[in-house]
């Protein structure tokens, strides 16, 4: 069995039904879809996404990328993306594993490597051709799910190997930017973490800039360069995504969901929701419920 077929078999065996699931390995999640899905906005953590079968499209503002079993997606900072499976069927389901990046292990590897981060800023979202060594390491990581007693000792070693493969590949420079404290990518990442922790509250640009170690003007410039949106637009998308999740997964009403994520005005909430999702809250949730049973990013 070749590497990608082995990866597909392992994902399918541990996830026989549609959906997304975390695993006993803290930073590993598995995903399956038996048919193409509707576009769903979600925040993707800094992570590696390896498709074993099928294909998916992700979009960040006007930029769109397609990845499949021959190409991996690497997200260098937490980004609000719109993703949908474009190639899947009951006979050949979409199968994917997502490995969140261990920032501490990454920094340790970079220090041991001794290379400096390049001066030029690099894309925070990119696809590259998958290498056999990377696929093999992912297979061995998933294989640990059959030997849970080995996970504490071996999973960190395999994850470290995966990070090493990425560092020595074409996306290595962007990963080095992640671990350098004064790089713009790292500063924007700190700003994003601050916004995500308090997205329901009023956004104070000065506080976000201070947390990132930047001036307000520099934060605005580099935040938009990385995420394709301003900090305020980023916060708004986080609010609307969480409101959508509350209505879809927990069955709360639009007014309650809007208030829970920080909106004081129901009309403003409905207006901004419709602008992002193409329909008012109630109609959108009815449409989503009919279209798919999958909740979240697959």
* Residue 135 · residue 153 · CB < 8 Å: no
Residues 58 and 169 reside in one and the same domain = yes
Contacts of 264 (CB under 8 A, 6+ apart): none
The tally of domains found in the chain comes to: 3
- For residues 282 and 142, membership in a common domain is answered with no
Q: Are residues 197 and 270 in the same domain?
A: no
Task: For residue 62, tell me if it sits in a domain.
Answer: yes
The predicted pLDDT at position 121 comes to: 57
Q: Which tens digit of pLDDT belongs to each residue from 167-178?
A: 888 877 777 766
Torsion 66-36-52-110 (CA) sign: positive
Question: Strands, E, within the chain: which ranges?
Answer: 19-22, 28-33, 40-44, 47-53, 55-60, 63-68, 71-75, 79-87, 94-100, 125-129
Residues 185 and 285 reside in one and the same domain: no
Q: What domain range is 222 assigned to?
A: 181-228
| 8 A C-beta contact, residue 195 and residue 94 | no
What is the model's pLDDT at position 295?
38
The pLDDT tens digits of the residues spanning 94-131 come to: 999 999 998 888 878 877 766 655 555 567 788 999 99
Residue at 114 is within a domain: yes
Q: State residue 294's pLDDT score.
A: 43
Give me the pLDDT at residue 117, please: 53
Judgement on whether residues 112 and 223 belong to the same structural domain of the protein: no
Residue 27 sits in the same domain as residue 154: yes
Average pLDDT, 10 consecutive residues per value, the chain (298 residues) = 89 92 96 90 89 94 90 89 92 97 84 61 81 95 96 96 89 72 75 88 89 90 86 90 88 92 93 90 85 45
**CATH number of the domain within which 240 lies:** 1.10.10
Confirm whether 296 is domain-assigned: no
* Residues 35 and 150 reside in one and the same domain: yes
């Amino acid at each position: 069995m070749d590497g990608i077929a082995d990866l597909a078999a392992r994902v399918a065996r541990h996830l026989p039904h549609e959906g997304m699931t975390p695993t006993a390995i803290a930073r590993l999640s598995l995903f399956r879809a038996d048919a193409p899905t509707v576009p769903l906005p979600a925040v993707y953590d800094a992570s590696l996404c390896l498709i074993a079968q099928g294909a998916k499209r992700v979009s960040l503002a006007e930029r769109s990328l397609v990845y499949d079993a021959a190409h991996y997606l690497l997200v260098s900072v937490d980004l609000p993306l719109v993703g949908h499976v474009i190639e899947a069927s009951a006979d050949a389901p979409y199968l994917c594993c997502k490995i969140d990046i261990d920032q501490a292990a990454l920094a340790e590897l970079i220090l041991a490597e001794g290379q400096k981060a390049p001066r030029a800023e690099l894309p925070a979202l990119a696809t590259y051709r998958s290498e056999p060594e990377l696929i093999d390491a992912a297979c061995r990581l998933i294989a640990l799910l059959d030997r849970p007693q080995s996970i504490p000792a071996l999973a960190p070693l395999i994850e470290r190997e995966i990070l090493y493969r990425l560092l020595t590949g074409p996306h290595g420079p962007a990963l080095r930017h992640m671990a350098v404290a004064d790089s713009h990518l790292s500063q924007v990442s700190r700003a994003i973490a601050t916004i995500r922790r308090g997205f329901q509250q009023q956004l104070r640009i000065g506080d976000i800039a201070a947390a990132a170690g930047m001036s307000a003007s520099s934060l605005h410039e580099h935040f938009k360069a990385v995420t394709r949106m301003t900090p305020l637009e980023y916060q708004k998308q986080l609010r609307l995504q969480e409101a959508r999740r509350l209505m879809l997964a927990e069955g709360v009403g639009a007014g309650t969901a809007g208030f829970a994520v920080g909106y004081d005005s129901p009309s403003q909430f409905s207006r901004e929701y419709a602008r992002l999702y193409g329909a008012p809250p109630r109609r959108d949730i009815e449409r989503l419920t009919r279209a798919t049973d999958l909740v979240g990013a697959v």
